C-alpha cells in the first residue's frame, strides 16, 4: 500500500499536550491520527459530536422538554394519557364529590 505524508501546523502547546496525552495512551501522534481517520470513515463523519455551547434558551427548552416527558410518563402510569381536558376535569369533579360525600362535607 502506498503511503502519503500529511503535514499540518498546530500551536506548540497543543502539539505538546496532545503528544503527552497519546504517549500516556501508548501511541504517538501519527497512530492517533490514523485511528481518527479510520473512525471518521466508519462513522461517515466526525467520530464525535461537535456542539456549540447551548444558549440559555436552548437550556430552558431542554429543561422544558424533560419536564414534559416526565409529565407524559406520569400520565401513562396514572392512566390519564390520552384523556381530553374535559374528561380529566370530569374525573376530578367526581373524585371531589366522592370525597365530600365520604367525609360529610357539604357544598357551599
Write the pLDDT tens digit of every residue in 70-90.
Answer: 888 888 888 877 878 888 888
* Structure-model confidence comparison of residues 69 and 6, the more confident one: 6
Q: Are residues 63 and 90 in the same domain?
A: yes
Alpha helices in the chain (DSSP H): 12-24, 29-43, 56-78, 85-103
The answer to whether the beta carbons of residues 30 and 18 sit under 8 Å apart is no
pTM for this one?
Answer: 0.46
Q: Are residues 61 and 97 in the same domain?
A: yes
- The range of the structural domain enclosing residue 17 comes to 12-43
Q: Are residues 36 and 74 in the same domain?
A: no
**Per the domain annotation, does 3 fall within a domain?**
no
Q: What is the pLDDT of residues 21-75, one digit of tens each?
A: 999 999 999 999 999 999 999 989 988 887 766 667 777 778 888 888 888 888 8
The answer to whether the beta carbons of residues 36 and 47 sit under 8 Å apart is yes
**Per the domain annotation, does 1 fall within a domain?**
no
The answer to whether the beta carbons of residues 63 and 71 sit under 8 Å apart is no
**Per the domain annotation, does 81 fall within a domain?**
yes
Amino acid at each position: 500500500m502506498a503511503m502519503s505524508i500529511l503535514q499540518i501546523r498546530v500551536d506548540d502547546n497543543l502539539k505538546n499536550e496532545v503528544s503527552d496525552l497519546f504517549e500516556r495512551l501508548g501511541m504517538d501522534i501519527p497512530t492517533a491520527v490514523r485511528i481518527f481517520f479510520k473512525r471518521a470513515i466508519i462513522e461517515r463523519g466526525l467520530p464525535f459530536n461537535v456542539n456549540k455551547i447551548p444558549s440559555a434558551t436552548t437550556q430552558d427548552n431542554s429543561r422544558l422538554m424533560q419536564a414534559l416527558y416526565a409529565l407524559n410518563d406520569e400520565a401513562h402510569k396514572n392512566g390519564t394519557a390520552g384523556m381530553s381536558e374535559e374528561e380529566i376535569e370530569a374525573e376530578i369533579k367526581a373524585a371531589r364529590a366522592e370525597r365530600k360525600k365520604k367525609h360529610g362535607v357539604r357544598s357551599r
